[in-house]
Amino acid sequence: MNFFKKHIILTLLLVLFSGYVYWNYTRIVPTNPLIDTSHPHYINSLYMSNDFIYDTLSENSKKAYDYLLGKMLSYESFFDIPFEEFSCTDYSECFSYFNTAFSAIQVEHPELMNLSNYSIKHEQENDYVSAHVYYAQSFPLLVDLGELRIQRILADMREDTKDMTDEEKIKYVYDWIGQNTSYDTVFTSTSKNQSIYNVFINKNAVCAGFAKACTVIFQNIGIEAYAVTGYSTGPHMWNIIGYQNHYYYFDATVAASIQDSSYDQYYDGLRQEYMNFYTVDYPEWYPEVEKTNMFVNI
């Protein structure tokens, strides 16, 4: 006791640090009610995939999906994929299987909180392709701590939105991205800014990170949502969300890019007419979207 009296500043710092650790990492919070730990594609308590794409894939693409997912869960960055193992006759066929599988994993598993990007290449003389998976964070301990932090952020969001209407929830998510994150302008195709780790922990991402994060948030607060890959003014990722038995585009990257809700363009990511020119990579995976605005007063 005398030690703490003599070291008041140190004691206060220890108390503050303990409170910070408790609130952000160790306090007990309810988890996502949709989580099913017995599901073969269960990954963590942040989000639960229902395999809405996996179930539609060809057998070879399913095999590629499971193979890639296993590598990602074990944080493997470099590995070779033999043609023979996946019944590929050549590089283009193998590329098709794995490109489809990766796109499906990106969309169905935003809870892969460390997954950022992926590429494959082929040397002409080889009977295999070489894959490279990029991760947002290189240290597993920091990934584990990040998951604990995100669990508590999501729990706070469920509490914040429990009495909101669906319209209020949708605007809440859009504004949360706009007010708490920013668009990473130092972008490269292999950058580490395309995961939900970047959004929730680093507060800095690009379109893929925002779309995945919004998918996770929406499921946790009771709004149907899908991440979508495709094109706007270039390669892009955004969301389709369900509202009053219809489906609409939702692009929180606009909010993160502008950040200031006083600008007229800030809510363009909720204005369907602003996004009607977007094209989707795999339209067969998604419900058809409306061409008119989701909300009247936006």
- ∠117-40-284 over CA atoms, to 5°? 60
| Domain shared by 131 and 153, yes or no | no
148-200 pLDDT per residue, tens: 999 999 999 999 999 999 999 999 999 999 999 999 887 655 567 899 999 99
For 124-141, give one letter per residue: b (16+ CB within 10 A) or e.
Answer: eeeebbebebbbbbeeee
| Domain shared by 87 and 176, yes or no | no
- Confidence bin at 4 (pLDDT 50/70/90): low
- In this predicted structure, what is the pLDDT of residue 112? 95
- Cβ–Cβ < 8 Å for 255, 269: yes
Q: What is the DSSP letter of 234?
A: S
Let me know if residue 82 belongs to a domain.
yes
| Domain shared by 164 and 243, yes or no | yes
Domain boundary among 97, 114, 135: 135
Let me know if residue 13 belongs to a domain.
no
Q: What is the DSSP letter of 42?
A: -
Domain boundary among 88, 116, 135: 135
Task: Give the mean pLDDT of 24-31.
Answer: 84
- Cβ–Cβ < 8 Å for 194, 117: yes
Look at residues 19, 7, 3, 192 and name the one whose alpha carbon lies nearest to residue 115: 192
| Domain shared by 208 and 75, yes or no | no
Domain that holds residue 220: 140-285
| Domain shared by 181 and 88, yes or no | no
Choose between 92 and 219: higher pLDDT: 219
- In this predicted structure, what is the pLDDT of residue 129? 85
How many Å is the Cα radius of gyration of the chain?
21
Residue 177's contacts (CB-CB under 8 Å, 6 or more residues apart) are 199, 210, 213, 214, 252, 255, 256
Token couple for 65 = 């999906």
- In this predicted structure, what is the pLDDT of residue 154? 97
The pLDDT of residue 6 is above 70? no
Domain CATH for 83: 3.30.1370.230
Measuring CA to CA, how many Å separate 258 from each of 180, 203, 274, 284? 12, 14, 15, 32
Let me know if residue 230 belongs to a domain.
yes
Lowest mean pLDDT of 83-92, 103-112, 216-225, name the range. 83-92
Task: Give the mean pLDDT of 23-46.
Answer: 90
Let me know if residue 48 belongs to a domain.
no
Let me know if residue 127 belongs to a domain.
yes
Task: Give the mean pLDDT of 256-282.
Answer: 94
Let me know if residue 18 belongs to a domain.
no
| Domain shared by 163 and 279, yes or no | yes
Distance CA 233, CA 228 (A): 15
- ∠99-100-102 over CA atoms, to 5°? 65
| Domain shared by 105 and 163, yes or no | no
Task: Give the mean pLDDT of 242-268.
Answer: 95
| Domain shared by 215 and 80, yes or no | no
- Confidence bin at 14 (pLDDT 50/70/90): confident
Let me know if residue 209 belongs to a domain.
yes
Measuring CA to CA, how many Å separate 247 from each of 13, 18, 76, 214, 232? 49, 44, 36, 15, 18
Distance CA 256, CA 191 (A): 18
Domain CATH for 264: 3.10.620.30
Q: What is the mean pLDDT of the chain?
A: 90
Q: What is the DSSP letter of 31?
A: P
Distance CA 207, CA 213 (A): 10
- In this predicted structure, what is the pLDDT of residue 90? 80
Choose between 9 and 227: higher pLDDT: 227
Task: Give the mean pLDDT of 224-245.
Answer: 96
The pLDDT of residue 78 is above 80? yes
Structural domains of the chain, count: 2
| Domain shared by 106 and 218, yes or no | no
Token couple for 103 = 């796109």
| Domain shared by 131 and 144, yes or no | no
Let me know if residue 10 belongs to a domain.
no
Domain boundary among 113, 135, 157: 135
90-132 pLDDT per residue, tens: 888 888 889 999 999 999 999 999 998 888 887 777 888 889 9
| Domain shared by 157 and 254, yes or no | yes
- Confidence bin at 146 (pLDDT 50/70/90): very high
pTM of structure = 0.92
Percent of the chain with pLDDT over 90: 66
Cβ count within 10 A of residue 281: 16
| Domain shared by 194 and 67, yes or no | no
The pLDDT of residue 3 is above 80? no
Task: Give the mean pLDDT of 25-46.
Answer: 90
